[in-house]
Amino acid sequence: MVKSPGSQISAGLDPLRNCWQRFVGFLFPLESDAWLAVFRIGLGLQVIVYTLFLRSDWHYLFASRGKGLVGREVGEAITFFDSPLIPKLGWLVALGHNLNMSEETVLTLAWVCLLSAGWLLLLGLFCRPAAIVAWFVHLCAAESGGLLAYGADSFMTTALFYLMLSPLPDHYSFDHWVAKTKPKNPLLSGFWRRVLQIHLCFIYFIGGLAKFLGNGWWDGSNLWRSLIRAPFTVVPPDVLVRFKYALPVLGISICLLEVSYPIFIWMKKTRLIWLSCILAMHAAIGLLMGLYLFALVMIVMNVAAFGIPSRSTTAQAFSGSPN
Amino acid sequence: MYSERIHAAWFGIHFFLLTAICLAGVFWLIAQGSTILPSACNDYAREGELVLTWCLGKQAGASNPLRRGIATYLHAAGIQAGYTFFAPNVPNHHRLRLELFHEDGRVEYESPRVRSEAAALRLDSLLDRLAEERYEPVREVLVKMLAFSVWREHPDVKKIRATFGSVNPPDINEFEQGKIETFQPIFSFDFSLRDEQKQ
């Protein structure tokens, strides 16, 4: 019996279809929203800590020229060159001028908005609007103070961006208890967790690879330099010297841990070990270098992505339809 | 199914951009010759970086809508920079030393200051950026503003000399021998109330 050309093409496409189905299955696993609750609460805490840490310097960092440290105009001009559509505090100040509000009042309002959004996220009240406000105001601050920003700001923006797009509210939020909101699609919950997981793999693989390319990570000198580098000098160099023979081992271990993260974090047998080591590394960065905000956001992202066991069976108990 | 396809398409675009950003960062490091790779790799890395920056629309004109769209998205998602922190090696940190010349002839030494430790980290981040070549066009303006922030607290100062430099820490063996960090001036500016003059 001779097969028709149509059925031959169809049979030829079967492997492609199978690949697509497997890809979709990987991208959209059934997932409970426990991870999302951890992510929301963690980021709420992060936003609160961020605003409180900058409380005394908020106006000084983001005021216009002549009033603050360097004036936000330079940072905004550099951002404008990249694209005029990138949000910045200057937009809010201009809007405030139209409403007869001074720059100082607008900056204070922005700070209050950010702090309130952090508390709302922590409590799970008005989750989605709170996530959008937190992302927007933080992005404005990060872009206006672009010259003053560091790694923690990028990670916060990314985390808030994913949180804002995730299927909020989760089952553990006040929104769910009070307003009895309908359960969200568990496949979407799984999708956004996958996005976060894969993003973390990128972060560590690239970070580890780039470190491996520097000779200072092989002999421990980079670890020494990073720990005695102002303003990260929390541990006195006299104390560090006692551990001089451990520094090369630690330096190589950090590179190995990071570069192999995308492999071992997915294996059930090694996940807990890799996650614990990564969390310990971030805790150490926070405590030994004083990078508390950076440490906290990385810990929150890791715990939400890989720290909460996948509970696909629970997801099936959701009353919402998977599609 | 429709929703899945939209999400899958977004996933593809998002991670394509992230891959391009991350690899461009690594290639840039290699092209600078600051890695342990042989120098023969530098040219390949430079070409690779060019291809990736083209993918990100950076070769297009500044007003190109695609370039602007991509840049806006990258900033909104916080993925405009790669993840090559403290790599391949930990760079020196930088310091801005301000000499304040008072009306009565006194000379005082100051540095720009902020109140909190969290803001101090940001100030150091700014100083490290000043050393980068791409910030050269705004260097003088930024130093002037930093000097002005100190000037506001010392209104009787008639002139400020701002010296920016790199702080080279001793390595672990040098530290054991009692060596301390050294300050290597890179540039300096003199600012007075009426005019400023580059040295």
Report if residue B194 sits inside a domain: yes
Residues B72 and B101 in one domain: no
A27, A74, A217 member nearest B138 (Cβ): A74
Q: Return the domain boundaries, chain A.
A: 31-166, 195-312
Return the bridge partners of B101, or none: B107, B159
| First-residue to last-residue Cα distance in chain A | 40
Taking alpha carbons only, the member of B130, B111, B71 closest to residue A79 is B71
Please report residues of A whose CB lies closer than 8 A to that of B7.
Answer: 27-28, 188, 191
Q: Taking phi first (over 0 means left), then psi (-120 to 50 degrees means alpha), and beta for anything else, what does residue B89 get?
A: beta
Q: Low-confidence residues of chain B, pLDDT below 50?
A: 195-199
Residues B65 and B6 in one domain: yes
Report if residue B69 sits inside a domain: yes
Average pLDDT, integer, range A239-263? 94
The dihedral through the CA atoms of A208, A45, B77, A272 has a sign that is positive
Confirm if A160 and A141 have CB atoms less than 8 A apart: no
Residue A319 confidence (pLDDT): 39
Interface predicted TM-score of the whole assembly (ipTM), two decimals: 0.90
| A65-118 pLDDT, tens digit each | 777 888 888 889 989 989 999 999 999 999 999 999 999 999 999 999 999 999
Report if residue B31 sits inside a domain: yes
Average pLDDT, integer, range A234-252? 91
Please report residues of B whose CB lies closer than 8 A to that of A297.
Answer: none
In angstroms, the CA A96 to CA A192 distance is 35
Residue B17 confidence (pLDDT): 97
* Angle at CA of residue A154, ends B80 and A295, nearest 5°: 145
Please report residues of B whose CB lies closer than 8 A to that of A65.
Answer: 145
Q: What is the DSSP string of chain B?
A: -HHHHHHHHHHHHHHHHHHHHHHHHHHHHHHTT-SSS-THHHHHHHHHHHHHHHHTTTTS-TT-HHHHHHHHHHHHTT-SS-S-TT-SSPPPEEEEEEEEEETTS-EEEE----SSHHHHHHHHHHHHHHTSGGGHHHHHHHHHHHHHHHHTT-TTEEEEEEEEEEEE---HHHHHTT---EEEEEEEEEEESS-EEE-
Neighbour-count burial of A107, counting CB atoms closer than 10 A to its CB (0-12 exposed, 13-18 middle, 19+ buried): buried
Interface contact B88-A24, CB threshold 8 A = no
Interface contact B117-A290, CB threshold 8 A = yes
Residue A316 confidence (pLDDT): 43
Chain A's closest residue to B178, CA to CA, is: A238
- The residue segments making up the domain with residue B56 are 2-76
Average pLDDT, integer, range A270-297? 95
Residue A183 confidence (pLDDT): 65
Report if residue B86 sits inside a domain: no
Interface contact A148-B122, CB threshold 8 A = yes
| A27-79 pLDDT, tens digit each | 999 888 999 999 999 999 999 999 999 999 999 999 987 778 888 888 899 89
Question: What DSSP character marks residue A168?
Answer: P
Joined together, the tokens standing for residue A49 give 């800590």
Residues B98 and B12 in one domain: no
Question: A249: how many CB neighbours lie within 10 A of its CB?
Answer: 12
Interface contact B171-A224, CB threshold 8 A = yes
Q: What is the DSSP string of A198-222?
A: HHHHHHHHHHHHHHHTSGGGTSSHH
B4, B35, B141 member nearest A214 (Cβ): B35
Residues B173 and B99 in one domain: yes
Mean of pLDDT over chain A: 90
Within its chain, how far is the Cα of A70 from the centroid? 28
Report if residue B88 sits inside a domain: no
Total CB pairs under 8 A between chain A and B: 212
Residue A146 confidence (pLDDT): 84
Within its chain, how far is the Cα of A302 from the centroid? 9
Residues B97 and B133 in one domain: yes
In angstroms, the CA A225 to CA A124 distance is 42
Interface contact B7-A188, CB threshold 8 A = yes
Interface contact A53-B118, CB threshold 8 A = yes
Interface contact B123-A161, CB threshold 8 A = no
Length of chain B, in residues:
199
Q: Closest Cα of chain A to B149: distance in Å?
A: 6
Please report residues of A whose CB lies closer than 8 A to that of B122.
Answer: 61, 145, 148-150
Residues B137 and B188 in one domain: yes
DSSP H/E element including A60: helix A58-62
Interface contact A241-B36, CB threshold 8 A = no
Report if residue B103 sits inside a domain: yes
Return the bridge partners of B188, or none: B163
Residues B169 and B130 in one domain: yes
**Is the per-residue pLDDT at A318 higher than 50?**
no
Which of A27, A213, A289 best probes binding to B when mutated, by most B CB atoms within 10 angstroms? A213
Which of B26, B27, B90, B148 best probes binding to A when mutated, by most A CB atoms within 10 angstroms? B90
Residues B67 and B102 in one domain: no
Return the bridge partners of B107, or none: B101
The dihedral through the CA atoms of A226, A159, A47, A33 has a sign that is negative
Q: Taking phi first (over 0 means left), then psi (-120 to 50 degrees means alpha), and beta for anything else, what does residue B125 get?
A: alpha
Give the percent of chain A with pLDDT over 90: 67
In angstroms, the CA B110 to CA A15 distance is 69
Please report residues of B whose CB lies closer than 8 A to that of A284.
Answer: none
Residue A1 confidence (pLDDT): 54
Within its chain, how far is the Cα of B61 from the centroid? 24
Residue A311 confidence (pLDDT): 65
Interface contact B35-A53, CB threshold 8 A = no
Confirm if A114 and A134 have CB atoms less than 8 A apart: yes
Residue A221 confidence (pLDDT): 92
Residues B173 and B130 in one domain: yes
Residue A193 confidence (pLDDT): 96
In angstroms, the CA A118 to CA A137 distance is 11
Residue A257 confidence (pLDDT): 96
Query: Interhelix angle for A89-98 vs A72-82, to 10°?
Result: 110
Report if residue B81 sits inside a domain: no
B62, B80, B146 member nearest A70 (Cβ): B146
Interface contact B22-A206, CB threshold 8 A = yes
Residues B104 and B178 in one domain: yes
Query: Interhelix angle for B136-151 vs B117-130, to 10°?
Result: 140
Report if residue B110 sits inside a domain: yes
Domain count, chain B: 2
